[in-house]
């Protein structure tokens, strides 16, 4: 059995990536299982998807804690302890990172492969943040058991259900074909039974409501939840050209643009999620869009 775990952010097509890879495995004659894991988070929050592909019946259920392949669609997640995309990885795990560089510290411990999917998606789809078909294609290439034509059929079936246009479908076909030409199959070691055996069941004890329910007793604690790590693009104000019209201050949906003592706009990057509404609303185009990159050494 091959176990694939996919990490990304809401709105990047992570759920779709798992579905396409699972369908492609099924069309290739294997048993397949795929499902996402996310809560009520908004666009930009960490999202995980899981895909299992096997020649035998799949009796496992639940999240994949010991993956054979980890696909990371956003390199900034490497700095996010809450997402923890490398959790459960060992030296036999193949790790793919959507990045133009290979983090040296990771390559010393794991088999790490990279490709700049962001630029490929921009070139083929005119969109730098939708990775559904790209990540699933990388997963299929690393497995080395899924033919390109079978994958294209699975992708078309899944994307058609989302109402994709003919032009966008053509772009996805070109994107996937290019990925299949540059990503080589990986050497995936068979895991021992001990490595994947689930832990014994735990019988929860009955607790008082105050201890057992998710009750928030301290009002106003959202200030502790710094959503700046959801950001994949950051707005930067050109203060030399800015005329202080403060439209960005008024339009920011999360109120993260404040004013300096001099009355100039200032962005609080600890909470800015990178929705880029300020850049869209800036009449003078004084706010630039800058791609965030990971700071993992």
Q: What is the mean pLDDT of residues 274-288?
A: 94
C-beta separation of 43 from 11 below 8 A:
yes
pLDDT in tens, 77-91: 988 888 889 999 988
Q: How far is the first Cα of the chain from the last one, in angstroms, to the nearest whole number?
A: 33
The encoded tokens of residue 53 equal 């592909």
In the chain, CATH 3.40.920.10 sits at 2-196
Would you mind telling me the total number of residues written for the chain in this entry? 297
Residues of the chain with CATH 3.30.70.20: 221-291
Rounded Cα distance between 272 and 275, Å, is 8
CATH class of 221-291: alpha beta
Mean pLDDT of 214-222: 67
| Span 62-80, pLDDT tens digits | 999 999 999 999 998 988 8
Dump pLDDT digits (tens) for 82-128: 888 999 998 889 999 999 887 777 888 888 999 999 999 999 999 88
In this predicted structure, the answer to whether residue 219 has a pLDDT above a threshold of 70 is no
Question: Residue 268: which of 249, 251, 243 has the closest Cα?
Answer: 249
Region 243-267: mean pLDDT is 94
Residue 128 confidence (pLDDT): 81
For the segment 260-271, the average pLDDT, to the nearest whole number, is 94
Predicted pLDDT of residue 106: 82
> What's residue 212's pLDDT?
65
Question: What pLDDT, on a 0 to 100 scale, did the predictor assign at position 41?
Answer: 62
Tokens of 120: 């490929």
Question: Topology of domain 2-196, per CATH?
Answer: Pyruvate-ferredoxin Oxidoreductase; domain 3 (3.40.920)
Place of tokens 């995309």: 85
pLDDT of residue 83: 85
Residue 193 confidence (pLDDT): 53
Tens-digit pLDDT profile for residues 13-52: 999 999 999 999 999 999 999 999 887 667 888 999 999 9
Q: What is the mean pLDDT of the chain?
A: 88
Whole-number Å distance between alpha carbons of 90 and 219: 41
Cα–Cα–Cα angle for 149, 182, 71, rounded to 5 degrees: 85
Q: Give residue 93's pLDDT.
A: 92
- For strand 2-9 and strand 69-72, is the pairing parallel, antiparallel, or unpaired? parallel
What are the beta bridge partners of residue 52?
3, 33
Query: Is pLDDT of 141 > 80?
Result: yes
**pLDDT score of 297:** 46
Number of neighbours of residue 196 by Cβ within 10 angstroms: 14
Cα separation, 261 vs 274, in Å, equals: 24
| Residue 205: pLDDT over 90 | no
* Residue 197, pLDDT above cutoff 70: no
């Amino acid at each position: 059995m091959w176990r694939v775990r996919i990490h990304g952010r809401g709105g990047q097509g992570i759920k779709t990536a798992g579905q396409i890879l699972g369908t492609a495995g099924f069309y290739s004659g294997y048993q397949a299982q795929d499902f996402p894991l996310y809560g009520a988070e908004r666009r930009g929050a960490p999202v995980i998807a899981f895909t299992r592909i096997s020649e035998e019946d799949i009796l496992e259920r639940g999240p994949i804690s010991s993956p054979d392949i980890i696909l990371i669609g956003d390199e900034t997640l490497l700095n996010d302890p809450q997402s923890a995309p490398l959790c459960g990885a060992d030296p036999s795990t193949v790790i793919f990172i959507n990045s133009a560089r290979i983090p040296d510290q990771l390559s010393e411990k794991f088999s790490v492969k990279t490709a700049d999917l962001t630029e490929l998606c921009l070139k083929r789809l005119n969109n730098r943040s939708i990775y559904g078909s790209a990540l699933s294609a990388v997963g299929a290439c690393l497995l080395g058991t899924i033919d390109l034509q079978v994958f294209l059929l699975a992708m078309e079936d899944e994307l058609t259900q989302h109402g994709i246009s003919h032009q966008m479908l053509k772009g996805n076909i070109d994107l996937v074909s290019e990925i299949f030409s540059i990503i080589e199959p990986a050497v995936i070691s068979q895991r021992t039974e001990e490595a994947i055996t689930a832990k014994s069941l735990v019988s929860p004890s009955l607790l008082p409501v105050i201890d057992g329910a998710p009750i928030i007793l301290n009002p106003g604690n959202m200030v502790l939840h710094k959503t700046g790590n959801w950001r994949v693009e950051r707005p930067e104000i050109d203060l030399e050209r800015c005329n202080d019209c403060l439209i960005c201050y008024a339009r920011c949906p999360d109120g993260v643009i404040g004013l300096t003592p001099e009355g100039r706009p200032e962005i609080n990057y600890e909470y800015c999620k990178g929705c880029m509404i300020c850049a869209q609303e800036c009449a003078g185009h004084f706010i630039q869009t800058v791609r965030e990159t990971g700071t993992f050494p």
